[in-house]
A = this chain, B = another copy of it.
Amino acid sequence: MTFGRQVRGREVAVIGAGKTPFGAFAGEDLRTLSVTAGRKALVNAGLEPSAIEAFYLGNFAGPEFTAQNHLAPWISTALGMTGIPSTRFEAACASSGSAFFHAFMAVASGIYDVVMVAGVEKMTCQPTPRVTEILAGAGDGSSEVRVGSTFPSLFAMIARRHMHDFGTTREHLSSVAVKNHENGALNPDAQMRKVITLEQAMNARPIAEPLNLYDCSLISDGAAAVILCAADRARSFTDKPIKVLGVAQASDYVALDRKPEITTFPALRAAAQQAYAMAGVAAKEIEFAELHDCFTIAEIVAMEDLGFVERGRGGFFSFEGGTRRDGPMPINASGGLKSKGHPVGATGVGQICDIIQQLRCEAGDRQLRRHSLGLAQNLGGSGATCVVTILGRD
């Protein structure tokens, strides 16, 4: 692996960030959502569209949800950018994390000075069964999906196995949902601003046992955008530049049945190790994180694979309050995918925006005490793609 080479490239900073609220917005399409987020990021950086040298768009399934494809130039021209390379990146629910990774490489290597990375998804225009079917495209159609699996059922198997192997309980899973709803209730941009009790979370209607309604993230519309810049130029645009300290993407088999163990994701572990090495930090130094809680069990597996807790201890740690805003490792202070919403193609860059908000001390009621080093983890499918990004204050 030559990832270490990136460390020798230029330093890269985020100089602008912008998001739409996440939710169900009947009057918005992929383009209007993206333009709103992109314009916010431009204003935040104090830039005109003409300053952007390349456009990186993360989107998972726009064509299936909306019939519009060729999305990158469709959106970038509406933002006032023509002539530049404008490309869509697809890596399932890690699509915009992947776009961010590629944009980072292009700036770090000196090809571009200023680029925009955006993520978008428009999901609520389809009925739920069709949404589930489209999302199942991120699984393996030749095996697991062919025999009827959907993502709730795949993560249900992961949860069941985690419970069997490590003693994780139904309460543990629900503690993730309760905490994320508590955080999301304080987030004005969250889709579901609703506090729930552990009892409510445990007794909700089953979706794919052991997962119930409150173990599953939401169907959402939304967009997010950031502007990356060579770090040595960042302070000419903003007095609050955020440094990209490490970022890595890794892959693995799409089909769950191809994995020797289903309660750990090798792509997640590989991306984490590479990002830590690039940033020169250890897991225990990370102060807070936005993790990909598409299902409650996914947050538990991620905190283990990232090395925040020992393998098998994620459920216990969550239940004991370790991941609450006042705990030793606050996770998903934004509300997470569970409460904030999960417009899949927007989620990766959205997480990065949430980390930036904390680093800049702009998170209002959700502001964390320790906020100088944050990590975002974006997952595609049941672990076939993972992107890990580490951000810090300059």
CB neighbours (8 Å) of A109 from chain B are 9, 105-106, 109-111
State which of A33-41, A132-140, A193-201, A218-226 sits at the interface with chain B.
A132-140
CB neighbours (8 Å) of A66 from chain B are 141
Bound CA span A66–B63, Å: 13
Q: Tell me what chain A mostly uses at the interface: helix, strand, loop, or mixed.
A: mixed
B87 touches A2 (CB 8 A): no
Shortest 5 CB-CB contacts between residues of A and residues of B: A109-B109, A69-B137, A86-B251, A70-B92, A73-B251
B72 touches A91 (CB 8 A): yes
Bound CA span A92–B70, Å: 5
B101 touches A85 (CB 8 A): yes
What residue of chain B has the Cβ atom nearest to residue A248's Cβ? B85
CB neighbours (8 Å) of A106 from chain B are 105, 109
Bound CA span A389–B163, Å: 53
Bound CA span A148–B72, Å: 22
What residue of chain B has the Cβ atom nearest to residue A113's Cβ? B2
- The answer, among B67, B85, B137, for a CB contact under 8 Å with A67, is B137
**Size bracket, chain A contacts:** 35 or more
Query: Is A244 an interface position by the 8 A CB rule?
Result: no
A73 touches B253 (CB 8 A): yes
Mask, A239-253, CB within 8 Å of B = 1, is 000000000111111
Mask, A367-386, CB within 8 Å of B = 1, is 00000000000001100110
- Having A68-B137, A105-B106, one finds 11 other A-B pairs with CB under 8 Å, namely A2-B111, A69-B138, A70-B139, A70-B380, A70-B381, A73-B252, A73-B253, A76-B251, A82-B266, A105-B105, A108-B111
Within 8 A of B (CB), among A1-44: 1-2, 5-6, 9, 29, 31
